Amino acid sequence: MSRLFPRTALWSRRLRAALAVLATAVAMCGVVLAATSTPSSAATCNGYVGLTFDDGPTGNTSALLNVLRANGVRATMFNVGQNVQNNQSAAQAQVAAGMWVANHSWNHAHMTSMSQSQMQSDLSQTSSAIQSATGSRPTLFRPPYGETNSTLQSVASSLGMRQVIWDVDSQDWNGASVSQIVANASRLQAGQVILMHDGIQNTRDAIPQIMANLTSRNLCPGMISPSTGRAVAPDGTTPPPTSPPPTTTPPPAGGTCTATATTTNVWGDRYNTSVTVNGASTWTVVVAITAPQRISTIWNGTATWDSSGNVMTMRSNGSGNTFGFTTMTNGNSNARPQIRSCTSG
């Protein structure tokens, strides 16, 4: 045994050395494997959109936040002040989930019928309730129903808030199905904002499909800039500029068509108009409204505006030959939109 021990010890030392080399190689290989198993890069964002949810917090806010988190969404929550006061923990949960919290008035009243002092009190009380619950004072304000005027905008500005309406209406408040909400959201373009609501099951069910569509177009959820009211990156940076929409009606394409406007619903502060186009499957319709009326919502078309904001050019977007819009009367309840032209192609 004594004669074999040196050889055994030598073999043992060599074995330990070999094992050490092997262990080092395995460790290095593990590092390489770990590096290659990591996704190569995050999703490409060629632009940002603002996903917004009004009228919270509600009893379903937790369910909404769960869906948003599961789909990697950060959104802007336009909260009603009395809801925040009655459910501070839900407002806190919104912030904890990475959402931005904004002002949507105290109790969702028709604010354009208020005096300036009443507007001031309403928005200030709401911002204070949000600050008390979340620790941050809102920098964005959305008027209930999209109703606004210069006085309300001035009051919001005096309280450090920018007014934000929307570019696309999901129509979830109007009983839209999941597929309709998804289709409406698919019209979002970089920088634009969509209106959705807290507490609606169809809206929650639509979120995964909305995100799949945005991802396919390299668009990502972002924050709404207090400076411009447009969607930007979550860190507040502005994405590369895109070509601005035209502000004037393009030259006629050569064909003609007929557009017929019908007032379908009338409320005290707003009304809906439905326009049917005949004679063309691809069309451009120019519509004029009378100031101080303003169009707040559109559907089944792509709209651009002239510099006055009173002339809308609506183009077909594959949603058929009937489009519609909601007009806020802003004190002028008698005037109705006028069709100026219909051009095919």
Q: Which residues contact 253 (CB under 8 A, 6 or more apart)?
A: 284, 343, 344, 345
Out of 16-30, 59-73, 244-258, pick the least confident: 16-30
Q: Determine phi and psi for 46, rounding to 5 degrees.
A: -90, 0
Looking at the chain, the whole-number percentage of residues with pLDDT higher than 70 is: 82
Is residue 171 within 8 A of residue 184, CB to CB? The reply is yes
Burial label, 156 (beta-carbon count in 10 A; 0-12, 13-18, 19+): buried
Tokens of 167: 């570019």
CB-CB neighbours of 298 under 10 Å = 18
- C-alpha torsion 276→277→279→282, nearest 10: -140
> Omega of the bond prior to 144 within 30 degrees of 0, cis?
no
- Encode pLDDT of 102-149 as tens digits: 999 999 999 999 999 999 999 999 999 999 999 999 999 999 999 999
pLDDT digits (tens, 9 = 90+) for 57-78: 999 999 999 999 999 999 999 9
Q: What tokens does 177 get?
A: 């199905």
Confidence grade of residue 267 (pLDDT, cut at 50, 70, 90): confident
Per-residue burial over 64-91, b if 16 or more Cβ lie within 10 Å, else e, is bbebbeeeebbbbbbbbbebbbebbebb
Lowest mean pLDDT among 23-27, 64-68, 283-287, 314-318: 23-27
DSSP string, 147-193: ---HHHHHHHHHTT-EE---SEE--GGGT--HHHHHHHHTT--TT-E
Handedness of CA 72, 76, 78, 81 (dihedral sign): positive
- Read off the pLDDT band of 264 (50, 70, 90): confident
Hey, CA dihedral for 260, 265, 268, 270, is it positive or negative? negative
* Residue 30 in this model has a pLDDT that exceeds 70: no
Q: Cα separation of 15 and 223, whole Å?
A: 60
Residue 292 CA: distances (Å) to CA of 3, 185, 196: 109, 28, 26
3-state secondary structure of 9: helix
Residue 40 pLDDT level (bands cut at 50, 70, 90): very low
Q: Cα Rg for the chain, rounded, in angstroms?
A: 28
Whole-angstrom distance, CA of residue 303 vs CA of residue 245: 9
- Within a 13 Å sphere around the CA of 126, how many CA atoms are in the beta-carbon half? 34
Q: Please say whether the dihedral angle defined by the alpha carbons of residues 329, 331, 332 and 333, taken in this order, is positive or negative.
A: positive
Determine if the peptide bond prior to 240 is cis (ω within 30°).
Answer: no
pLDDT, residue 235, reads 82
Would you call 218 helix, strand, or coil by DSSP?
A: coil
What is the predicted pLDDT for the residue at 143? 96
Whether 38 shows a pLDDT value over 50: the answer reads: no
